[in-house]
Amino acid sequence: MKYHYRLTASILEMIQHLIIIREAIGLAAPAEARVTEIRRRSLLKSALYSAKIEGNPLTETSVLTDKSKHKLEVQQLLAAYEWGFKQTRPLTVGMIKELHRISMANLDETPGKFRQAQTAIFNQAGVAVYLPPPAMEIKTRMDELVKWLDKAGDPVPIKAVVSHFWFEKIHPFSDGNGRVGRVMVTYILHLGNLGFGGMLNFEEVLADRREEYYALLNEKGKEITLFIKFMLESLVKAADKLMVELKIKGKRGPDATLLPRQREIYWLIKDHEEVSFDFVKRRFLAVPSSTIHYDLGQLIKKGLVDKMGQTRGVRYRIREPRGL
């Protein structure tokens, strides 16, 4: 991977928090009509606040009556979010171009096409703060990003956030990169079963912390732990707000008493449904195999994980609740 991060305890906790909220919502089984209404409102707000991050002046009230180009920007972005929500295929370069085509139709001279010239990213003072790769390298860079996204075993929220950062650094389009990048986050979360049914409006949180968001996006190094932490905080805040809107009370997860590494192994198995010992070991290369065996044994002892098979054919999976 082009960028690096540290899987800190706080990052793990936030990922687990998102999964617990997803499961709590699933158990509560809110009425479909309620979900549909919140989804409709949330996708509109995602589009509105994503545009607002880029300087769109419309509010939740004025967007309903405005007839200017600003409303068209929100409408086109909403269409991109809605299109993404209906997809079931892994993200490809062609689909990213389609997201740009939909969101920038009638707003950009070449919607859905990569830029053909060198460009720069400027701050509010008009000073160039970043020079993206030249146009001739865009296709290769985008292919690398999509290939990593398809193969990476990282937790879904991290894949979504890293992809956003990576995409913005490539800056493949002449305009609309930030907007498409945020739609990509929603798309990847949706495909990874962490999109909360289209009800997760994290863009509003980003708009409230716009300066910090841009400052972290403009970091020039390869280490992006702080950006990941910031984005996960935004996702968690949006998820907590959704719980309140749905009037669902939070519950302690089954991993609440686990040690940090055991908790990480638990969620690694849960994310992938069924894994081998070697798969788990690759995530903890610096940890002795005997220690990983001990951690897995503790998860089995606590009734959280089942062990299937023998010797080299052993597989591990999350133990499903009995009697439900």
Over 80: is that where the pLDDT of 125 sits? no
130 beta partners: 121
More confident residue, 56 or 259: 56
pLDDT tens, 244-293?
999 887 655 666 667 778 888 988 888 887 899 999 998 888 888 888 99
| Sign of the C-alpha dihedral computed for residues 279, 280, 281 and 283 taken in this order | positive
Q: Are 9-246 and 260-318 equal in CATH topology?
A: no
Q: Whole-number mean pLDDT of the chain?
A: 91
The residue extents of the domains of the chain are 9-246, 260-318
> How far is Cα 69 from Cα 74, in angstroms, rounded to an integer?
9
The helix (H) or strand (E) run that includes residue 316 is: strand 315-318
Percentage of the chain beyond pLDDT 90 is 71
260-318 CATH, one of 1.10.10.1100, 1.10.1060.10, 1.10.10.10, 3.40.50.2300: 1.10.10.10
> How far is Cα 283 from Cα 296, in angstroms, rounded to an integer?
14
User: What class has domain 9-246?
Assistant: mainly alpha
In this structure, are residues 80 and 99 in contact, taking their beta carbons and an 8 Å threshold?
A: yes
In this structure, are residues 165 and 1 in contact, taking their beta carbons and an 8 Å threshold?
A: no
pLDDT tens, 186-232?
999 999 999 999 999 999 999 999 999 999 998 888 999 999 999 99
pLDDT attached to residue 255? 67
pLDDT attached to residue 322? 47
In this structure, are residues 276 and 312 in contact, taking their beta carbons and an 8 Å threshold?
A: no
Lookup: tokens for 283: 């995530």
pTM as predicted: 0.77
Over 90: is that where the pLDDT of 27 sits? no
